[in-house]
Structure formats: C-alpha cells, structure tokens
Amino acid sequence: MVDIRGLAELLIVWRVNSGSCDFWYDNWVGSGALHLRAPVLVDVGFQQVLLHRGWNGKLLASVLPLDVVHTILEMEVLETTNPDVMIWSPSTLGEFSLGSAYQEVREVRESSFMSSRVRHSQIPLRVSFFMLRLLRGRLPLDDALTRFQLHLPLKCVCCASPKCETVDHLFADGDMARTVWRFFGSECSVRHPGPLLRGVLAEWWFKSAPTENLCFILWLLPVFICWHLWKVRNSSVFQGVKVEVHGVCCAIFQDLKDAYVIKYGELQEIRQWPQFLGQVELRRAVIQITKV
C-alpha cells in the first residue's frame, strides 16, 4: 500500500464545503496538492481564504501562482458546516472501492513481452510491482505528472548538470544510469543502445544466452538496475543522501548474486562482477532426475 500511496493521492479530489480538508496537502483544487506548487505557509488556510460570500482573492494571489488562483476563484463557495467530501476520481460515483483501485495498478493480462519479464520467482514482489509501474509510466516523475496537469520544476539528482527528471532520463540516459548500464553491459557484451529505457531493456532481454544460468542473469539484472536507480533517486530527494556509482553497482551485484545462489546453489566467494560472470559462464545447467 505504501508503494501506491503517491498514485492514490493523485486520484483523490476533495470537494470543499466547510474547509475541513487540509488547505496545503489535500488535492481540493483538482490539479494536485498546493504544497507542490507553492511554499507552505502554516498561518494560511481555509479560515483565512474563505470569506462569507466568496474567496479572498487578494490573499490567494499573494501566496499561490496566478493560474491556481484563477482556478480557485471559479470554484463555488458553499455556505455550509458540512465536512468536506473526498471524491475518488476513478469511480463514476466518486466513491472509493478496492476494485477501482486495483484496476489502476494491476496488469489485466501480460499484454507485452516486457511486462512478462518483470515477474520471476527470484524477483521480490515489491520490485516486480515497481517495474510494472515503471513500464506503465506510473512513477511520480515529470512525464507522468504532466498527464495530471502537474507542472513541477523537478530536476534530476543523477547528473552533474541537472536536467528534466523523466523516466528515460533517470533510468537510461542520465549520467548515473549510463555508467551503471555500461559497467554491467561491458562484461555481458550488451551495448547501451541510446536514451530510451525500453530500448535498453530490449537490448538485455532479447539477447540470446548459451546457458540457462546466463539467461537468468540477463533476465534479472536489468530489473535490479532499475530498482536501485530508483532507490538512489529517492534517497537523494527525500533524505539528502548522496550515493556514488560504485555503491549502486555493489548493491545491484549483491542482489543479483543472492538471487543466483538461491536458484543455483553456492558459488565460490567472489566479490567482483567480472569474476562472478566468468564463473557463471563456465557452469552448465544441472539436470536432476528424481526416481518416482
């Protein structure tokens, strides 16, 4: 539930009656919470901006962007003491239901090859769910938020010169992403094809492998790379933690090695990616025959 909280909040709209919802952090305007558009002023709330017969336009204009002010001034002011009402936008009745929420985040069927590659017994469920959101453009980045009419001045944290934080930039074309993909791809003879994430994933997932073991590596490694690039981004944005590329590669390698050991058994103590891949390439799938 925590993983989809951001998406759920974008789908909730509040109808203002008495002003009981949060002025800054609830989406009552319809285009997102106001704290995403302007600095929060704790002494400004509905009690200050709601007048007896309308809105305090002068105060609104002093704390909010003009386009937001125009939207608010067009909203009807209801003279009522009733609490504000939450409207669940995916439902035609405006009422929340688990069914409508599930429809927003699930894949009805495996509609593409790429969707099928994010599920594996050795891929944690939270990582598979994250990859589905990534492939469907449901992460709260610039290119997704603009579909909800949210235009935020987001800048990436993965480049020396910050750029617009889109899916392709963060996961394929940013400085950190290119370095990580090339670090692992150089040993697997997988080239970095360009700035589009789907092109990068296709390069890995369509590459033929001579053994089942190597096929397993080519399947899981892109998933773990995307997962850790997302974790690094969130650590930097929300906690101010700066993670170097070397640390990211080590974390990806550790997850991959753990998954490999669970599926194929122990390997020699190897701490370097090239040596690990070399040993994987030397091994052959073991055929187990069970007498019945």
CA distance 131 to 148: 21
Question: What pTM did the predictor assign?
Answer: 0.59
Closest CA to 278 of 177, 208, 191, 189: 189
Write the pLDDT tens digit of every residue in 241-288.
888 999 999 999 999 999 998 888 777 677 889 888 888 877 654 444
Is pLDDT above 70 for 106? no
Write the pLDDT tens digit of every residue in 173-231.
889 999 999 999 998 889 887 889 999 999 999 988 888 888 999 999 999 999 999 99
Is pLDDT above 90 for 99? no
Domain boundary among 103, 129, 157: 103
Q: Highest-confidence range of 34-48, 55-69, 203-217, 244-258, by mean pLDDT?
A: 244-258
Domain of 45, in residue numbers = 2-103
CA distance 233 to 139: 12
Specify the DSSP class assigned to residue 118.
Answer: T
134 with 76, same domain: the answer is no
Write the pLDDT tens digit of every residue in 215-226.
999 999 999 999
Q: Which two tokens stand for residue 46?
A: 């509905």
79 with 94, same domain: the answer is yes
Domain boundary among 103, 136, 169: 103
> What one-character-per-residue DSSP string does 15-68 give?
EPSSS-S-TTTS--SSSS-GGGTS---TT-SHHHHB-SSSB-HHHHHHHS-HHH
Domain boundary among 76, 103, 130: 103
Write the pLDDT tens digit of every residue in 130-189.
999 898 888 887 766 666 555 555 577 788 777 778 889 899 988 999 999 999 999 888
CA distance 190 to 214: 13
